[in-house]
């Protein structure tokens, strides 16, 4: 317990007698400590006398209208309005051509994929053949300063259970390195190819259909739009289709209000005992314009609720 905590505890009578006597003796001879005690006391008083902020009446009306609409529907797992808006924004943000030709991307100097083990859904042998070609091509077209090891998005499923204290070890995974230091333009292109296998869909030329789909989800009526062509990320360990689907489902929300992000890492894991997905993203450093900001997001695998966030 530091002095600040001790003083705060003292004010609410939470020190044992010996600690209290010791602190009081120090307070008697230390004016700075007394001043600090007084500041905490005043802060406590001020907190206790803060007026309670009241919701604006128009909000209260709007809230109930919104809830009535929600309650009128079937008991649902439908996305919230916030989620729907996020999906729309997501599609707008990713209004880029679908991922089409890996070799074209390679020529543009992008980091490339490697395929090991199983892939996400919608994969065929042809993709694997493409990937082999890409990997061969990588030798000649890697970025200046490209790191050792395979470039490309990675999905890990090794049954690990993280806590806040050790999950940051994920930052050390080699999947981040090839993306760090990219310029904005390079990152935009990389984001397309990295995002797609994680389930961030390029929307091709049919934005209206995508929006209609987002709206249709609430009614549960519309069919899924055709899945975009996807490439497999490198997968370490065994993941079920359901887990891989969760990786795709929970990622889009992390893009909300963001500029370009490159998703490089997804781990199907547990976080403090709860089924979770750990995402590693690389974002632009607003100071330098370089992609050097690493973000770690831990979300619930069941609800996609954000459980933990940190950046480096």
Partner 1 sequence: MTGDVTDEELLATYVEGAGRRREEAFLELVDRFERRVYAICYRHFGNHADAEDATQDTFLSIARKAHQFAGDSKLSTWIYRVAVNACNDLGRKYARRPQTPVGDVSRVAAETAGGEETVDDALAGLELAHEIEQALLQLDEVSRSLIVLCSIEGMSYAEASEVFDMPVGTIKSRVFRARAQLAELLEPIQDLTGGAASTERERGVSEATDPRSARGPP
Q: Which residues bind partner 1 (CB under 8 A)?
A: 1-9, 14, 36, 39-40, 42-56, 59-60, 63-64, 66-68, 70-72, 75-77, 80-82, 253, 256-258, 283, 286, 293, 295, 297, 305-306, 309-311
Q: How far is the CB of 56 from partner 1 (least distance, A)?
A: 6
Q: Where on the phi/psi map is residue 181: left (φ > 0), alpha (ψ -120 to 50), or beta? A: left
Beta carbons within 10 angstroms of residue 164's beta carbon = 12
Smaller CB separation from partner 1, 77 or 139: 77
Classify 97 as helix, strand or coil. coil
Smaller CB separation from partner 1, 147 or 308: 308
Instruction: Work out the end-to-end distance of the chain between its first and last CA atoms, rounded to an integer number of angstroms.
Output: 28
**H/E run at residue 82:** helix 81-93
Q: How far apart are CA 283 and CA 272, in angstroms?
A: 26
Angle at CA 93, nearest 5°, toward 90 and 94? 85
Smaller CB separation from partner 1, 96 or 258: 258
Q: How far is the CB of 65 from partner 1 (least distance, A)?
A: 11
- 15 Cβ neighbours under 8 A, 6+ residues apart: 6, 9, 23
Smaller CB separation from partner 1, 156 or 254: 254
């Amino acid at each position: 317990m530091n002095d600040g905590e001790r003083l705060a505890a003292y004010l609410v009578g939470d020190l044992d007698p010996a600690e209290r006597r010791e602190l009081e003796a120090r307070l008697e001879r230390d004016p700075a400590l007394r001043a600090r005690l007084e500041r905490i006391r005043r802060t406590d008083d001020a907190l206790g006398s803060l007026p309670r902020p009241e919701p604006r009446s128009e909000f209260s009306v709007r809230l109930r209208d919104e809830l009535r609409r929600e309650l009128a529907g079937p008991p649902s797992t439908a996305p919230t309005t916030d989620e729907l808006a996020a999906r729309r924004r997501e599609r707008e943000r990713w209004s880029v051509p679908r991922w089409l030709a890996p070799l074209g991307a390679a020529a543009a100097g992008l980091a490339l994929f490697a395929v090991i083990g199983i892939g996400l859904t919608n994969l065929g042998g042809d993709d694997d053949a493409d990937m082999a070609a890409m990997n061969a091509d990588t030798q000649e077209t890697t970025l200046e300063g490209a790191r050792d090891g395979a470039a490309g998005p990675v999905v890990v499923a090794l049954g690990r259970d993280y806590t806040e204290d050790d999950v940051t070890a994920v930052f050390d995974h080699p999947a981040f390195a090839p993306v760090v230091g990219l310029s904005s333009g390079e990152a935009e292109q990389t984001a397309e190819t990295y995002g797609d296998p994680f389930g961030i869909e390029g929307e091709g030329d049919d934005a209206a259909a995508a929006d209609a789909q987002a709206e249709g989800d609430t009614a549960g009526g519309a069919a899924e739009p055709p899945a975009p062509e996807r490439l497999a990320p490198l997968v370490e360990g065994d993941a079920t289709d359901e887990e891989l689907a969760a990786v795709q489902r929970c990622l889009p929300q992390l893009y909300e209000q963001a500029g370009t992000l490159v998703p490089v890492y997804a781990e199907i894991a547990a976080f403090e005992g709860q089924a979770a997905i750990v995402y590693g993203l690389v974002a632009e450093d607003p100071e330098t314009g370089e992609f050097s900001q690493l973000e770690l997001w831990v979300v619930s695998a069941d609800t996609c609720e954000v459980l933990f966030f940190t950046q480096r």
